[in-house]
Amino acid sequence: MRHRLGPAGVPKPNGLWLAALLAALALALCGCGPGGGAGEGPRITLDGAPWDGKAVSPEAGDMRVYVTLNGEALIDLPFGEAHTLTVAQPGVGENTVAVTPDSVYMLQADCENQDCVQMGAVTRENLEVRVMGGFIVCLPHRLSVEVRGE
């Protein structure tokens, strides 16, 4: 009964051992995290209806809004028309991007930190001087929105 933390004779737990264990746990988690799960693709809703996969006004305007998921192009919209885009990733989360004639911003996200919502809008005026340039990024959902010319 002298040793409450473990039986006598057990070697001292090494800090590095525990660190390695935690790291292994983190890696195991990554395996079943976003991207690793069995492939249910994202559901894209454009202006209230499921997106049909067709290009949206491909000829309109000089700038476009490029939406990227996990580093891969998802959809792009003209900058200058009003649209509401929702990207729902099953098991990960949902983002809603608002495109107005003169700005783009993250309207809603169900992530914990809300960084992307607080990043504010990209407009033609602040494109050059904004902290993240033409980018709005939701790291937990690995979604990025970029306003740029062709």
Partner 1 sequence: MKANSRRVALYGLLVALMLVLGLLDKSIPITWFLSGAIPGIKLGLANTVLLYAIYLMDWKSGVLLMAAKAVLSGFIYGSVTAMLISLSGGVLSLLVMLLIKRGPAVGALAVSGLGAAGVAWLLARGVTLRGDMLWCVILLCAACAAGVAVFLFVRKNPENGVIGTSMIGAVFFNIGQTLMAVAVMRTPQLLYTYLPFLVAMGAVVGSLTGIVARRVFLALRALPSRQ
Residue 87 in contact with residue 67, Cβ under 8 Å? Answer: yes
CB of 62 to partner 1, least distance (A): 19
Q: How far apart are CA 82 and CA 29, in angstroms?
A: 39
Q: How far apart are CA 1 and CA 33, in angstroms?
A: 43
CB of 59 to partner 1, least distance (A): 25
Work out which of 16, 38, 41, 101 binds partner 1, going by CB under 8 A.
16
Which among 38-46, 49-57, 63-71, 77-85 is the span making contact with partner 1, rule CB under 8 A? 63-71
Please name every residue paired with 84 in a beta bridge, in sequence order, or none if there are none: 98
Does 15 participate in binding partner 1 (rule CB under 8 A)?
yes
CB closer to partner 1 out of 14 and 54: 14
Work out which of 84, 96, 111, 123 binds partner 1, going by CB under 8 A.
111
Does 135 participate in binding partner 1 (rule CB under 8 A)?
yes
Half-sphere exposure of residue 126, counting CA atoms within 13 Å on the CB side? Answer: 14
Residue 123 in contact with residue 130, Cβ under 8 Å? Answer: no
b/e per residue, 131-143, with b = 16+ CB within 10 A?
A: eeebbbbbebbbb
Does 139 participate in binding partner 1 (rule CB under 8 A)?
yes
Please name every residue paired with 44 in a beta bridge, in sequence order, or none if there are none: 87
Which residues make up the interface to partner 1 (CB under 8 A)? 2-5, 8, 12-16, 18-19, 22-23, 25-26, 29-30, 33-34, 68, 70-71, 92, 111-113, 115-116, 118-120, 126, 128-133, 135, 137, 139-142, 144, 146
